């Protein structure tokens, strides 16, 4: 259990990290966002609920570190048509909570609401986010990010920006 | 431009090498398609492996119609319409489950999982009423082919086997990729919605002209060998099986490579368990042949697309609103292969898929594009002068030719003209 002071310090560092991550995503700073990941990072966006087994059932995204890299490389080609032109994005990150520890990583949860404007239309996305963060060389990094969309049981429009 | 009053003159809208843009965005035409295609011909609904046990059920659809696929106590598959026979309330609100009966929450009418009305609240008010005529609605005909369950609302017409025609052989080819000869649909579905007409999806599935352009962003960075299959020098072919069924037959390219599992971007050493099970099941020679040829790339009209490693089900909701339901195919008795099938499918398809998000972008842009008044027509003449036919008499063309689109529209016209 952290002391009140160190908990407040950690909360402040974690919040700053999540806001920075949100800004990189909203502004399509793909390489800066990729650099936030640890080498064993897992990026998971489940479908059909929050508690499916991604090793057995289909997820919208279930990327290991090398597939995260592939996803970013594709965006960087400039020929990822669904992001050419890029979606215009802004998201609000809120309800940030420290959720204890997970195998030495810092467990964090937040809610987010995203507004996307694309060629198709304007779309609102909302999600519960669960993170495992780790200090590497004094900097926070993401080892795990799970994004549970509120409406992930329904048919969803293309989701090709970084969520 | 409003051509609705003339919409019964389908020959004015559908010509051998071009179709009219209004076919994709006219709501009156969409309504006519529901009546003449979706509520008449054979439509794929679900797979027997989705309801393995007695009383299992799963929510499915035929176009906008909500269908409950059940396996009843006798083991029979039923396709029930999700509508209480009393006041029309939906009796099932869950995606899947196990239930011997469905009780309507409105007035407690209860239906067995084969659709029979078995009870209602306060029955004394229904004295003299015959329960037999008050069951849930059924899809009129239900038939399966190798586990794939199709439904037709037409009481009469061709059998499923007649409808599948030459394309049935592609499903045979698919299931023999399993050492036990069976496909399973057990990995759950991604549901990807597009603001576009369903026929843009249907036609794209066997369009071998687009991958080099729509998917260049991923072929370039993924070190993928898929691109060459669809190149100008490819020996792969397009095929029109009739009845609207179309295929991209990649076997000529895979046979040239002559490497087992090359079609799947892997090799025998990386899937040793699968390889040994295949050899045990089929013998070395036939197992090798199957593993060189790979699985089919076939679009079963109007809504079942088998894309080598995954399966799509196309659901039209309105002239400009469609859903692609997609899952990884799973082969019975092939656990090491199945894991790889799921991983590759998840990367490729669905709302965030490295391939399908770009296809879907094209569908939506095409849909907005054809709203433009001129040039009115979609031109589908690619390869018309070099069409050939295979040994079975089916039309074939180069992998980039529009043989499939022309075949789809020929069948579409015959269905829309039928009375």
DSSP string, B197-242: -HHHHHHHTT--SSHHHHTHHHHHHHT-SHHHHTSTT---EEEEEE
Q: What phi, psi does A133 have (nearest 5°)?
A: -110, 155
pLDDT of residue B4: 45
* Mean pLDDT confidence for B148-160: 98
User: Could you tell me how many residues make up chain A?
Assistant: 163
Interface check for A157 against chain B (CB to CB < 8 A): the answer is: yes
d(CA B4, CA B23): 10
Mutate to test the interface with B, among A81, A85, A127 (most CBs of B within 10 A): A81
pLDDT of residue B190: 98
Mutate to test the interface with B, among A45, A67, A158 (most CBs of B within 10 A): A158
- Residue A43 CA from chain centroid, whole number: 7
Question: Structure pTM?
Answer: 0.96
* A73·B221 Cβ contact <8 A: yes
Per-residue pLDDT of chain A (163 residues; tens, 9 = 90+): 567 778 899 999 999 999 999 999 999 999 999 999 999 999 999 999 999 999 999 999 999 999 999 999 999 999 999 999 999 999 999 999 999 999 999 999 999 999 999 999 999 999 999 999 999 999 999 999 999 999 999 999 999 999 9
How many Cβ pairs within 8 Å bridge chains A and B? 105
Distance from CA of B94 to the nearest CA of A (A): 11
Burial, B135: exposed, middle or buried (Cβ in 10 Å; 0-12, 13-18, 19+)? middle
- The closest CB to that of B193, out of A56, A78, A157, belongs to A157
pLDDT of residue A114: 98
- The closest CB to that of A158, out of B217, B218, B357, belongs to B357
Mutate to test the interface with A, among B59, B187, B198, B221 (most CBs of A within 10 A): B221
Interface check for A73 against chain B (CB to CB < 8 A): the answer is: yes
Residues B104-126 have pLDDT tens digits of: 999 999 999 999 999 999 999 99
Compute the mean pLDDT over every residue in chain A, rounded to the nearest whole number: 97
- The closest CB to that of B361, out of A59, A63, A81, belongs to A81
- The closest CB to that of B217, out of A63, A74, A121, belongs to A74
pLDDT of residue B6: 53
Instruction: Please tell me what DSSP assigns to residue B245.
Output: E
* A160·B188 Cβ contact <8 A: no
| pLDDT value at B88 more than 50 | yes
- Residue A104 CA from chain centroid, whole number: 20
| pLDDT value at B419 more than 80 | no
Confirm if B176 and A138 have CB atoms less than 8 A apart: no
- The closest CB to that of B351, out of A57, A119, A158, belongs to A158
Nearest to B238 by CA among B348, B415, B386: B386
pLDDT of residue B175: 98
pLDDT of residue B71: 98
* Mean pLDDT confidence for B152-164: 98
Alpha-helical (H) ranges within B139-210 are: 160-164, 168-175, 198-204
Compute the mean pLDDT over every residue in chain B, rounded to the nearest whole number: 96
* Mean pLDDT confidence for B354-367: 98
Which percentage of chain B shows pLDDT scores above 90?
Answer: 96
| pLDDT value at B403 more than 90 | yes
* Mean pLDDT confidence for B150-167: 98
d(CA B24, CA B37): 15
């Amino acid at each position: 259990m952290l002391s009140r002071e160190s908990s407040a310090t950690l909360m402040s560092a974690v919040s700053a990290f999540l806001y920075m991550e949100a800004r990189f995503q909203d502004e399509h700073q793909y390489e800066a966002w990729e650099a936030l990941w640890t080498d064993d990072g897992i990026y998971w966006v489940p479908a059909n609920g929050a508690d499916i087994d991604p090793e057995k059932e289909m997820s919208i995204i279930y990327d290991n570190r090398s597939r995260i890299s592939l996803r970013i490389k594709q965006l960087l080609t400039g020929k990822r048509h669904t992001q050419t032109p890029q979606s215009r994005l802004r998201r609000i990150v809120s309800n940030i909570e420290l959720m204890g520890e997970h195998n030495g990583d810092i467990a964090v949860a937040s809610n987010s609401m995203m507004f996307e404007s694309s060629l198709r239309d304007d779309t609102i996305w909302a999600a519960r986010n669960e993170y495992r963060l780790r200090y590497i060389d004094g900097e926070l990094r993401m080892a795990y990010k799970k994004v549970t969309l509120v409406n992930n049981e329904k048919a969803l429009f293309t989701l090709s920006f970084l969520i | 431009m409003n051509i609705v009053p003339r919409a019964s003159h389908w020959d004015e809208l559908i010509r051998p090498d071009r179709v009219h843009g209004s076919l994709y965005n006219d709501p009156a035409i969409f309504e006519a398609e529901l009546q003449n295609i979706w509520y008449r011909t054979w439509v794929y609904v679900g797979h027997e492996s989705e309801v393995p046990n007695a009383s299992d059920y799963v929510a499915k659809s035929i176009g906008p119609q909500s269908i409950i696929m059940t396996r009843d106590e006798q083991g029979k598959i039923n396709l029930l319409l999700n509508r209480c026979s009393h006041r029309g309330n939906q009796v099932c609100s869950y995606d899947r489950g196990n239930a011997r009966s469905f009780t309507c929450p409105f007035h407690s009418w209860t239906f067995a999982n084969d659709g029979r009305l078995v009870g209602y609240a306060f029955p004394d008010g229904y004295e003299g009423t015959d329960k037999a005529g008050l069951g849930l609605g059924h899809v009129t005909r239900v038939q399966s082919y190798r586990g794939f369950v199709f439904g037709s609302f037409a009481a009469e017409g061709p059998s499923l086997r007649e409808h599948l025609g030459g394309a049935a052989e592609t499903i045979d080819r698919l299931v023999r990729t399993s050492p036990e000869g069976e496909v399973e649909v057990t990995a759950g579905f991604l549901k990807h919605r597009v603001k576009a007409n369903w026929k843009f999806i249907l036609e794209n599935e066997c369009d071998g002209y687009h991958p080099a352009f729509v998917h260049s962003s991923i072929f370039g960075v993924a070190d993928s060998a898929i691109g060459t299959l669809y190149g100008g020098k490819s020996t792969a072919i397009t095929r029109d099986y009739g009845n609207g069924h179309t295929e991209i037959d990649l076997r000529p390219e895979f046979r040239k490579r002559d490497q087992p599992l090359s079609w799947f971007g892997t090799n025998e050493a990386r899937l040793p368990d699968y390889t040994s099970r295949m050899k045990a099941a089929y013998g070395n020679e036939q197992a090798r042949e199957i593993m060189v040829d790979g699985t089919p790339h076939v679009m079963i009209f109007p809504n079942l697309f088998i894309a080598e490693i995954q399966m799509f089900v196309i659901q039209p909701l309105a002239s400009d609103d469609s859903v692609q339901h997609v899952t990884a195919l799973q082969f019975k008795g092939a656990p090491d292969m199945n894991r790889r099938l799921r991983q590759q499918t998840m990367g490729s398809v669905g709302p965030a898929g490295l391939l399908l998000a770009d296809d879907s972008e094209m569908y939506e842009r095409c849909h907005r594009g054809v709203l433009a008044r001129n040039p009115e027509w979609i031109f589908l003449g690619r390869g018309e002068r070099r069409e050939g036919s295979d040994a079975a008499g089916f039309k074939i063309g180069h992998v980039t030719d529009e043989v499939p689109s022309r075949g789809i529209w020929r069948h579409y016209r015959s269905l829309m003209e039928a009375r």
